[in-house]
Amino acid sequence: MTSIVGAEALEQSYDVVVVGSGGGALTGAALAAAAGLSTVVLERTDWIGGTSAYSGGACWLPGTAVQQRAGLPDSTEGARSYLAAVLEDPDPSKVEAMLTEAPRLVERLEADPLMEFEWIPFAEYYDAPGRVPMGRSIQPSAIRRDQLDAAVTALVRPPVDKDRAGKPGRSTLSGGQALIGRLAAMVARDGGVIATGVQVTGFGRDDDGRADRVLAQGPDGPLEITARRGILIAAGGFEGSPDRRAAHATPGDAAWTMAPHGTNTGEVIDAAAAIGAATDFSGEGWFCPGLAQPDGSGTFTLGFRSGLMVDSNAQRYGNECLPYDRFGRLMAQAPERIPSWYLFDDREGGRLPAIAMPEGDPDEHLAAGTWVKADTLEALGAGTGLDADALRATVERFNGYAATGVDEEFGRGQDEYDTFFASAGSPNKALVPLDQPPFYAARFVLSDLGTKGGLVTDATARVLDVDGAPIPGLYAASNSTASVFGSAYPGPGAPLGAAMTFASLAVQDLSRNQAQSI
């Protein structure tokens, strides 16, 4: 089904054609429309927002007025030090572009009555110079649906609990839904067009080499739309494609990704490569432990409050309270870690002591065998196939650490992130003994919030060709690109923060392009 907001039908040409409708795409579209450029957003599914709509809406955008208003010790300089410490082999020009653009972008967006940000306390992911205590991430404030254009809010992808588990929706848009709803309303108000049900399949270049066309599949057949000033690709990664994941040796599995079903399969990246774009498939993603679900999916889990993770040898292999991407990377290091089992006791009444999006129904998990419940550790071993002696030894060792408050193997509870969610232990907030039967084991796989290898771009988000020269008219941001952060996930909101800043830089650059007459 196609919906078009802002027009009766699609035109044959626009100043700006935006591919995808996540946070980066809609930031670009909103800024382009606000600058008076005719703008169209093409989204393949019936919903706008992709994974961005599922998200918490945290944006790692350092040094803005929002952190100043919150009285945080944040600054561009501090963020520069932090990134210098946590990024491996970054492109300095892109890092600097992001740092410089972040405050300007937020100022521009907040000048619009439809956009408002606030600080959210959420610890950053590395203990490194420049880290801000309790984090520097910001998010769009929640907004009631009836405060935005109804035609737009009707298209915003439901929250993950509703989309994946059929839970009730919300009348207030918050987190990622607020980001998508607010930005899309700005696009529509300023004359932009948003079309769903249109899958982009290719790009074309004119005789001078300028990328000037988008080829797409609409409900009534193929479409060709020309872009007078530029094309912005911000259409997710290839996390939903088993073949592309295998080809680029990306850990995890398309069945376990958090991208909404039917969204991000990477054909847009390949289509850009087909007209000469360089790619850097690093095998990278934003990884996380994924709670295995009865339907074979894996769901994003963070913030473990008690319990411990073991591999197929019943051994712990890391600090379970690490930031999720860092724990996911540990999972990816050895085959005996996928699947893992998360062991927990009855202190939360048989619920997983963590935030899982979605958790699923405990009874369904137990019936499907994705969870096992037993009165003794021996029986838990029998139910999971874990060696009972090894399991008992691991749990006894862990309970000893809980008693002394010192995790001698992995240092759990020493970092501010560890105790951000876990607070019930004593003397160490993050170490709670496993001693209240019945005991549970939940199966875990390696999930992700998207891949982050793809199109190679420069500091103004221009897509580069295999010789390192910009392809005129072609821009990219979001998980469609090789990430500015490489293998690191600096803090909450890094995916959206980067996507939004580079989309903004793209629009500034393409605004300077001479409009091509078609």
Ligand X SMILES: Cc1cc2nc3c(=O)[nH]c(=O)nc-3n(C[C@H](O)[C@H](O)[C@H](O)COP(=O)(O)OP(=O)(O)OC[C@H]3O[C@@H](n4cnc5c(N)ncnc54)[C@H](O)[C@@H]3O)c2cc1C
As a whole number of angstroms, the distance between CA 425 and CA 434 comes to: 11
Q: Does 244 bind ligand X (CB under 6 A)?
A: no
Q: Does 267 bind ligand X (CB under 6 A)?
A: yes
Tokens encoding 364: 């369904």
- Give the one residue of 6, 24, 318, 339 binding ligand X; rule: CB under 6 A: 24
Spell out the alpha helix ranges (H) of 195-323: 242-247, 267-274
Measured in degrees and rounded to the nearest 5, phi and psi for residue 301 equal -130, 135
> What is the contact mask toward ligand X in residues 137 to 176, using x (rule: CB under 6 A)?
-----------------------x----------------
- Residue whose CB is less far from ligand X, 184 or 377: 184
Determine the residue type at 288: C
| Terminal alpha carbon distance of the chain | 29
Residues counted in the chain: 518
Q: Does 44 bind ligand X (CB under 6 A)?
A: yes
- Listed in sequence order, the residues at least 6 apart from 122 whose beta carbon sits closer than 8 Å to its beta carbon are 58, 134, 135, 137, 420, 491, 492, 493
Q: Does 225 bind ligand X (CB under 6 A)?
A: no
Q: In this chain, which stretch among 337-345, 411-419, 421-429, 491-499 interacts with ligand X, using CB under 6 A?
A: 491-499
As a whole number of angstroms, the distance between CA 187 and CA 496 comes to: 18
- Give the one residue of 27, 38, 39, 55 binding ligand X; rule: CB under 6 A: 55
> What is the contact mask toward ligand X in residues 439 to 478, using x (rule: CB under 6 A)?
----------xx---------------------------x
CB of 305 to ligand X, least distance (A): 18
Number of residues that bind ligand X (CB under 6 A): 44
- Give the one residue of 10, 18, 21, 317 binding ligand X; rule: CB under 6 A: 21
Looking at the DSSP assignment, which residues form a beta bridge with residue 457? 463
As a whole number of angstroms, the distance between CA 373 and CA 380 comes to: 7
The CA-atom distances, in angstroms, between 159 and each of 23, 150, 167 are 15, 17, 9
CB of 268 to ligand X, least distance (A): 5
Q: Does 257 bind ligand X (CB under 6 A)?
A: no
Instruction: State how beta strands 199-205 and 172-173 pair.
Output: unpaired
Measured in degrees and rounded to the nearest 5, phi and psi for residue 27 equal -60, -45
Q: Please answer whether residues 443 and 292 qualify as being in contact, where contact means their C-beta atoms are separated by less than 8 angstroms.
A: yes
CB of 265 to ligand X, least distance (A): 7
Measured in degrees and rounded to the nearest 5, phi and psi for residue 346 equal -90, 10
- Residue whose CB is less far from ligand X, 343 or 488: 488
Q: In this chain, which stretch among 320-328, 331-339, 385-393, 494-502 interacts with ligand X, using CB under 6 A?
A: 494-502
Q: Does 23 bind ligand X (CB under 6 A)?
A: yes
Q: Give the chain's count of helices (H) and strands (E).
A: 16, 22
Cis peptide before 438 (omega within 30 of 0): yes
Q: What element of type H or E holds 364?
A: helix 362-368
CB of 50 to ligand X, least distance (A): 2
- Residue whose CB is less far from ligand X, 358 or 383: 358
Q: In this chain, which stretch among 52-60, 96-104, 387-395, 425-433 interacts with ligand X, using CB under 6 A?
A: 52-60
Tokens encoding 18: 């935006």
Q: Does 200 bind ligand X (CB under 6 A)?
A: yes
- Give the one residue of 130, 314, 493, 509 binding ligand X; rule: CB under 6 A: 493
- Residue whose CB is less far from ligand X, 42 or 330: 42
Per CB under 6 A, residues contacting ligand X are: 19-25, 42-45, 50-52, 54-58, 160, 199-200, 234-236, 258-259, 263-264, 267-268, 286, 300, 357, 449-450, 478-479, 492-496, 499
